[in-house]
Amino acid sequence: MFLHVYKYRLKTIFRSRVDLFWILLFPLLLGTCFYTAFHNITKSLEEFNTIPVAIVCEDDADLTFFKAYIDALSSEENNILSATYTTSDEAQSLLSDKKITGIITFKDSIPSLTFLNTDSTNTSVSQSILKELMDSYIQSLDILSNVEPEDTESLMAVIANLGQNADYIIERKLTDGNTDYMLDYYFSLIAMTCLFGSYSGHSCANFLKANLSAQGMRKCLSSTKRLTLILGDFFASCTFPVISNIILIIYLNYILKINLGGNVLLIILTAAIGSIIGVCIGLFIGAIPGIKDSLKNGIMTASSLFLSFLSGLMVGGIKYKIEKVVPIVNKLNPATVITDALYSLNIYDTHDQFFTCIAILAVTIVILCTLSYLMIRRESYASI
């Protein structure tokens, strides 16, 4: 009998346009919008590219030391600059066409920079780097000017020291995961999809209550055990959100090629548990007596979006601010716990934090299911 209840409840869910749109289609559409907006944004902001620059020298200044400095920055080892020695007119033409970042000209052997005004973040970063390099060169010239030309040994020592780049920081890889900060939006999207399972849970409660649906009337009059009816409807209500989340994860990870980090199977496990949380929330709200069905729908929609907002879906990094002020909110917010579980899979080498998040979700499921069962089981009717 359990399988019979499960099968027909599942058919009902797949025929529901509301459930199909909000639980399956809407997250896919929103994920596509995120991809369109965020695609390669981190790469364009953080990845360093060789800076093209034009060097104009039309006087008789001695540029021996400067050329050696530029050659060192343009070497295969550093690959910071790509220098072109040209005339003033040609340099202005290249700058106007945005083929170079800036122009270096000389006056009394001192370099000066000319930039093109632009709102591009990448160009601004390149301009800042170029300015720092020229400032470093001018400081080097100032140091050399304080050394007596006759003191060959000291002069060579200073030049040698200027040519060395001291590294006081050892580069170490902290994680094998995806460090793109835009990934938080995709984690929040998965969490939101989990919470949208509340629509399915709410329908489950309606179909178990005789005063809310014709199906509920028939089930209350059925000779089938109440627990069997509840479990059959509940597991069917959980199945569709779980399938929807699996489709979303496959779409993000394998079609849009977004590296979600961590083990895909554990990501799916997290989404599955999160989907059950969403169904439990909907079941709990739907089981509350004395509230109109339209109001319950409004509560579910508002709570799902608000909890997703607190997890960072609309404003990136908001959950970290909440953690500093009222950390208990993040522990009670299932959307944040889901995103934390996904984040821990991506960043940490161990699964301690992941299993902590899963334990919190499991406890929440038990509490919501117990309260919902008590409200549905004990409800009786004077007549049907």
45-92 pLDDT, tens digit per residue, is 555 678 889 988 766 556 777 787 788 788 777 678 888 888 888 888
| pLDDT at residue 112, rounded to an integer | 85
Residue 327 pLDDT class (50, 70, 90 cuts): very high
pTM of the model as a whole: 0.71
| Identity at 36, one-letter amino acid code | T
What is the average per-residue pLDDT within 157-165?
56
Residue written as tokens 């998040």?
357
Where along the chain do its domains lie?
2-39+179-377, 48-162
Cα–Cα distance for residue pair 192/29, rounded to 1 Å: 13
Residue 224 pLDDT class (50, 70, 90 cuts): low
Range in 49-58, 89-98, 314-323 the model is least confident about: 49-58
Domain 48-162: which topology? abc type-2 transporter like fold (3.40.1710)
281 pLDDT more than 90 = yes
Task: List pLDDT tens digits, range 2-17.
Answer: 888 888 888 888 888 8
Contact 2, 228 (CB under 8 A): yes
Contact 270, 358 (CB under 8 A): yes
Most confident of 19-23, 109-113, 134-138, 183-187: 183-187
Q: Which two tokens stand for residue 197?
A: 């399972």
Residue 247 pLDDT class (50, 70, 90 cuts): very high
